[in-house]
Structure 1
Amino acid sequence: MSRTALVIGGGIAGPATAMALRKAGIEAVVHEARAEGDGDAGVFLTLGSNGIEALKAIDADRRATATGFATPELTLRGSKGKTLGVSKISSATAAPSMTIRRADLYRALHEEAVRRGVQVVHGKRLVSAEDTGDAVTATFADVTTATGDLLIGCDGVHSTVRRAVDPGAPAPSYAGLISLGGYARGVDTGAEPGSYTMIFGRRAFFGYAVAPDGEVWWFANVPRPAEPARGEVERIPADEWRRTLAGAFADDAGPAVRILEATATADIMPASPVHLLKRLPAWHRGRMIVVGDAAHAPSPSSGQGASLAIEDAVVLARCLRDAPSHAEAFADFVRRRRPRVEKIVKQAARINNSKAAGPVGRLFLDAFMPLFLRAAARSSFTEEVYGHRTTWEVAA
């Protein structure tokens, strides 16, 4: 049985994977590219009922969810203020989904992993990995190396481990959207605390949630057909983005412009292009495997990126615990996970396309979104996604 693992990447998937492996009797060391204290990028995210259940399987849910707030459903509106419908984003039989700052979730998972004895090594950007047959050695940008029985890629949509597993693996695709967000105080949206609203604007997409203390957490997706160069949009100053967004939402009904005006410059988080990974042919090779966004990156529209990564962590550890070899464990992991995640990724891609729709597409949304939501309510897809239970004792 494998006894040691190199976990590459210390975002959400990394510490969750390390804790799950430790529970399965495998010592894991997390190798994180960021320097210690850098935290994690991003604004906030939805931790679905299913993600919370997966954390419960490794007894890590309380610390992780302590700073979030329940958001069991969201209201969809058109650019003229018309309510298009209400969508459930929680299981009816489990804990409600939560909205949480990404940095808070990152910090909570890291603190809990370290408390359990997981070693996290910072400043370790993976350059290459070599599988020698009886072990795998990682080489980092600082010219140091590390060796373990397994190497698990938790290094996100631009994964280096993915290329080590399959040099011909498809690159993530640009979704045609730039995403950014921030936090505003002292603005009355007319919405109740715990509510979540998303607006299909004429020129861009806007979403906001109202925290229990009245702070408004918001994000925007701005269509941009041409893919920007790496780091290009991240370097655009916050005040320039405020002006861009104010112009994009100027003709839309709703509080978007007022929320932007109430957001301090320091509270506007850096922008980033949205990338997707729809289908990866090979998730593993030899002693190396990828999980989370490194294996299947859905668009943020899914609200499932973090939750699916945590599910992966638990299921992979459970497979390694139960299988007689890592090869059989990896094969079982893919068999259990691929159908679920690819179905969710496909559904999220449809929503993502609607965010980038032009004026004609907006008219289509206003006319047909209520019908779509009614059909979705009659289907079992929401419960299939959010009601999924990842357990430790019983194979799911």
Structure 2
Amino acid sequence: MRVVVVGGGVAGAASAVALRRIGAEVTVYEAYEDPAGPVGSFVSLAVNALRGLDALGCLPAVQRAGFPVERQRMWSGGGKLLGDVPRGRPEGEPLRSVTLLRADLVRVLRAEARRAGARIVTGRRLTSFTGEPTAGADLLIGADGLWSAVRRAVDPAAPEPAYAGLYGVAGVSREAPGQAPAESAFHMIFGRRGAFIHLPRPDGTVWWSAQIAAAAPPPDLAEVDAARLAALFRTEERAVEVLRAAEGKLTSTLFHVLPRLPRRYRGRMVLIGDAAHPVGAGQGAAMAIEDAVVLARQLHRTGEVAAALAAWDQEREARLGKMARAAARNREAKTAGPLASRLRNLVMPVVFPRVYPRATGWLYAHELGELPAADAEGARG
């Protein structure tokens, strides 16, 4: 089977690894040489993403590239603890959530794809899929992200992404006052203007991400610096402490939503990852990895592209729909008004410990199934 993958980010590189495991001939085309592409910052991988990486044979390398995070703690803007739960896993799960730079995740996946025998061509953006180099491919995978060209080829009438009412800025700070460097926790502050996330690294620095609620994005996102963010979060003391210690270049992005696509595949073309479902809520990379594993497993099981794509789409439909609804609730929590925020701060410490295990059980208990064992060349054994 000859496969062309458009996009070499998390979704595309994971697909290349998975498809080499079933013996496919894979070529990936990626516009950016830098594994981060235009997107920087960090990602936190929950246990479902780690199981997907384990199925791909990449888990140890990803764990080495990042660091484990034990707990997730939610705070009110005034410093009240609203919830304290295991980060990205159910209680008792031995795997620990891993946080790393997105660039490092992509780098690990690309290295494994190349080791397995995939060809990765960087510096080349594919926007047409009727001639070379896609001609003759049995399968064309659109892993080209939010503004996917393959999505338009699959369905010219497909909806376009829309601004979600949030924009994000991320950066690194020196060790901030009051923070214990050895404390392995992912902290989320629900502020008046949005959410502020910060977590300590083993080297003593602090990674942070500000997600600001705004009806319209700033005219120039690149001009939003740490000083401006500190003014936006001025009522959240801990956020201001971290922002005052910021150093180096910041990474900015707009958050988007994409309505459910009428179709995620057509003929020999299929969409995965953000090209099909930019879910957010910290699960974008995980859903892309899951997509790749399930697609390869269905292709291996059926041996025929049309049947495999139909089975893949059916298997992923309910989970992706549920994930999209969870992501919408996550956005609403970050953009809550003053009255809703006060109610949340009162109710959450009582309700959250009881609700959280049930609310996330479907996400973390998911079983992806296995891929064929890799031989010495990386293809199926």
> What is the match of residue 63 of structure 1?
61
User: Which residue matches 1:337?
Assistant: 316
What is the CA deviation profile of residues 239-279 of structure 1, one whole-angstrom value per residue up to 9, with x for unaligned ones?
A: x421210101112232x112112111x2422x111012241
- Whether the 8 Å CA contact 2:172–2:205 is kept in 1: the answer is yes
Question: Larger deviation: 85-94 or 347-356?
Answer: 85-94
Equivalence for 1:392: 370
- Distance in 2 separating the partners of 1:38 and 1:393: 25
1:293 aligns with 2:277: no
Q: How many Å apart are 1:25 and its aligned residue?
A: 1.2
Aligned to 1:29: 27
Whole-Å Cα distance in 2 between the matches of residues 11 and 324 of structure 1?
26
- Identify which range, 17-26 or 205-214, moves more after superposition: 205-214
Letter in 2 for 1:148: A
**1:176 match:** 165
Per the normalisation by structure 1, the TM-score is 0.87
Deviations 1:100-123 (A, max 9, x none): 111111111112211222111112
Deviations 1:276-331 (A, max 9, x none): 224112010000000111111112xx221111110110110111111142111000
Aligned to 1:85: 83
Q: Secondary structure at the match of 1:64?
A: helix
1:317 paired residue among 286, 290, 296: 296
Output one character per residue of 1:307-365: Cα deviation in whole Å (capped at 9) or x when no partner.
11101101101111111421110000011111112101211111111212232332232
Q: Which runs of 5+ in 2 are unaligned?
A: 373-381
Q: Unmatched 5+ residue regions in structure 1?
A: 131-136, 139-143
User: RMSD in angstroms over aligned alpha carbons?
Assistant: 2.0
Who is 2:338 aligned against?
359
**Cα pair 2:45 2:286 within 8 Å, conserved:** yes
Please name the residue that 2:378 is paired with: none
Counterparts in 2 of 1:65 and 1:378: CA distance versus 1, 3 Å: closer
Q: State whether structure 2 residue 347 is matched by structure 1 residue 368.
A: yes
Asked if the contact 2:17–2:109 (Cα under 8 Å) also holds between the matched residues in 1, the reply is no
1:198-257 per-position Cα deviation (integer Å, ceiling 9, x unaligned): 00112231011111222111000111212567xx42xx24xx421210101112232x11
Does 1:190 pair with 2:203? no
Deviates more, 1:85-94 or 1:112-121: 85-94
- Distance (whole Å) between structure 1 residues aligned to residue 62 and residue 184 of structure 2: 18
* Matched letter for residue 96 of structure 1: R
In the alignment, which residue of structure 1 is the partner of 2:260? 279
Percent identity over paired residues: 39
Residue pairs, 1:1-396, within 5 angstroms:
3-34=1-32, 36-37=33-34, 39-40=36-37, 41-88=39-86, 89-91=88-90, 92-130=92-130, 137=131, 147-191=136-180, 192-227=182-217, 232-233=220-221, 236-237=222-223, 240-254=224-238, 256-264=239-247, 266-269=248-251, 271-299=252-280, 302-377=281-356, 379=358, 381-392=359-370
3-state secondary structure, aligned to 1:129? coil
Shift, 1:67, TM fit:
1.9
Letter in 2 for 1:222: I
SS in 2 for 1:213: coil
The alignment of Structure 1 onto Structure 2 pairs a total of residues equal to: 368
* Contact 1:155/1:161 (8 A) holds in 2: yes
Q: Give, as a single letter, the amino acid of the residue that structure 2 aligns with 1:346.
A: R
CA distance in 1, matches of 2:5, 2:200: 35
Change (3 A) 1:267 1:372: farther
- Residue 145 of structure 1 and its aligned partner are, at CA, apart by 6.1
Whether the 8 Å CA contact 2:144–2:275 is kept in 1: the answer is yes
1:382, CA displacement in angstroms?
1.7
**Does structure 1 conserve the Cα–Cα contact (< 8 Å) formed by 2:28 and 2:118?**
yes
The answer to whether the Cα contact below 8 Å between 2:5 and 2:26 also exists between their aligned partners in 1 is yes
Distance 2:218 2:276 in 1: 23
> 1:179, 1:219 within 8 Å by CA — same for their partners in 2?
yes
Give, as a single letter, the amino acid of the residue that structure 2 aligns with 1:268: L
Counterpart amino acid of 1:360? L
Structure 1 segments (4+ residues) deviating >6 Å: none
CA–CA distance in structure 2, aligned partners of residues 167 and 177 of structure 1:
27
- Taking a change above 3 Å as real, the CA distance of residues 387 and 213 of structure 1, as seen in their structure-2 partners, is farther
After superposition, the Cα gap between the structure-2 partners of 1:318 and 1:72, relative to the gap in structure 1 and judged at 3 Å, is same
Amino acid paired to 2:19: L
Deviation at 1:371, TM superposition (A): 4.4
**CA 128–337 in structure 1, closer or farther in 2 if over 3 Å, else same:** same
Check 1:31–1:199 CA distance in 2 against 1; reply closer, same or farther (3 A cut): same
Q: For 2:97 and 2:45, locate their aligned partners in 1 and report how far apart those are by CA, in whole Å.
A: 6
Counterparts of 2:274 and 2:350, CA distance in 1 = 31
Distance 1:29 1:372, change over 3 A: farther
Matching residue's letter, 2:157: G
Query: Quick one: structure 1 residues 378 and 205, their matched pair in 2 at CA, closer, same or farther if it must change by over 3 Å?
Result: closer
Q: Is the 8 A contact 2:173 2:205 kept in 1?
A: yes
Distance 2:141 2:318 in 1: 20
